[in-house]
């Protein structure tokens, strides 16, 4: 497809294998490495690249939060935020895996989230009714199950889903869409990236507390804010330490920069900002007189008519 689009041979090459990452990131003739993946792998690549001082662009994990303010349209935004997490079976770095909810709306939000999760159909790729499919591997499935169990062991309340596989899907790496309530931000499920269809619902008592909870993470990729007041959304969104903030929904502009803060990485993908990551700045110093003669010879004195 790249060649059909006109990219010259040799510019784009696909090389696969477990050893490729280490070789490419440490090789002295590679000038820049762009990596999308886990924070752990990003640290390893950065360390290998440091030996040759090559530039590294990373887009890593996240532990994104959706803050529902007390005047949010819950019937509209909660289904969108839950669906955004469940898409791709939760295997998205920008998944809104924490939902931070005012105490006054807590039970209502739980009921809506439960309904959405239970209406999310898990199935095989050839099932036209399926909303989401399996996890990527047995290792990932085991990890997601472990997070679910650890969350309950640490005091979270299972609302729906939980460990195990959906009925009739025992043969694959399928996970149940899961809602856990009564979560504190110090629990493992609220701090570590699960990469599965697991939502943690966290109550808050003040707007300042909600912002603090959202920012209390090593990651900073994506967050969301919902309110009937756009002014409140912007005020809260401006205080969130993340590269992206969704307002009253899950809309994303594919030409807008995609990337985060902190251990979510140091680069931007998509759009012009994504292209800029692969450019370097060069300064050419020249006098104004020499520049004028070189670039605008017709306007320079020695080329003017007598």
- What is the set of active-site residues? 59, 93
Q: Which helix (H) or strand (E) holds 178?
A: strand 178-181
Please state, in angstroms and rounded to a whole number, the distance separating the CA atoms of residues 142 and 156: 19
**Alpha-carbon gap, residue 302 to 297, rounded angstroms:** 8
Read off the tokens for 305: 């008519």
CB 133 within 8 A of CB 89: yes
CA 60 to chain CA centroid, Å, is 8
Of residues 198, 202, 195, the one with CA closest to residue 221: 195
CA 58, 64, 69, 75: dihedral to nearest 10 degrees? 120
- Sequence-ordered strand ranges (E) for 152-288: 157-160, 178-181, 198-204, 219-220, 222-226, 244-247, 261-262
3-state secondary structure 1-60: CCCCCCCCECCECCCCCCCHHHHHHHCCCCCEEEEECCHHHHHHHHHHHHCCCCEEEEEC
Q: Tokens for 169, please give them.
A: 């899907």
CA distance 90 to 36: 16
């Amino acid at each position: 497809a790249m060649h059909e689009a006109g990219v010259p041979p040799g510019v784009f090459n696909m090389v696969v294998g477990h050893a490729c990452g280490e070789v490419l990131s440490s090789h002295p003739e590679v000038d820049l490495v762009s990596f999308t993946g886990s924070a752990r792998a990003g640290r390893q690549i950065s360390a290998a690249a440091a030996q040759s001082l090559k530039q590294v662009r990373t887009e890593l994990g996240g532990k994104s939060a959706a803050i529902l303010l007390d005047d949010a349209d819950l019937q509209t935004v909660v289904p969108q935020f839950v669906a955004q997490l469940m898409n791709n079976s939760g295997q998205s770095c920008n998944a809104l895996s924490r939902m931070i909810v005012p105490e006054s709306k807590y039970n209502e939000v739980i009921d809506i989230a439960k309904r959405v999760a239970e209406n999310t159909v898990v199935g095989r790729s050839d099932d036209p009714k399926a909303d989401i499919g399996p996890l990527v591997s047995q290792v990932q499935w085991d990890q997601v199950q472990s997070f679910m169990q650890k969350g309950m062991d640490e005091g979270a309340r299972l609302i729906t889903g939980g460990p195990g596989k959906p009925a009739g899907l025992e043969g694959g790496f399928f996970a149940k869409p899961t809602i856990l309530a009564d979560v504190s931000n110090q629990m493992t499920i609220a701090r570590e990236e699960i990469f599965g269809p697991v939502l943690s619902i966290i109550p808050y008592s003040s707007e300042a507390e909600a912002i603090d909870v959202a920012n209390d993470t090593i990651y900073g990729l994506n967050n969301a804010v919902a309110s009937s007041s756009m002014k409140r959304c912007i005020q809260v969104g401006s205080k969130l330490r993340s590269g992206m903030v969704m307002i009253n929904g899950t809309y994303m502009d594919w030409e807008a920069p995609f990337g985060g803060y902190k251990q979510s990485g140091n680069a931007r993908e998509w759009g012009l900002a994504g292209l800029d990551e692969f450019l370097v700045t060069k300064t050419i110093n020249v006098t104004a007189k020499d520049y004028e003669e070189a670039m605008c010879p017709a306007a320079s004195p020695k080329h003017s008519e007598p």
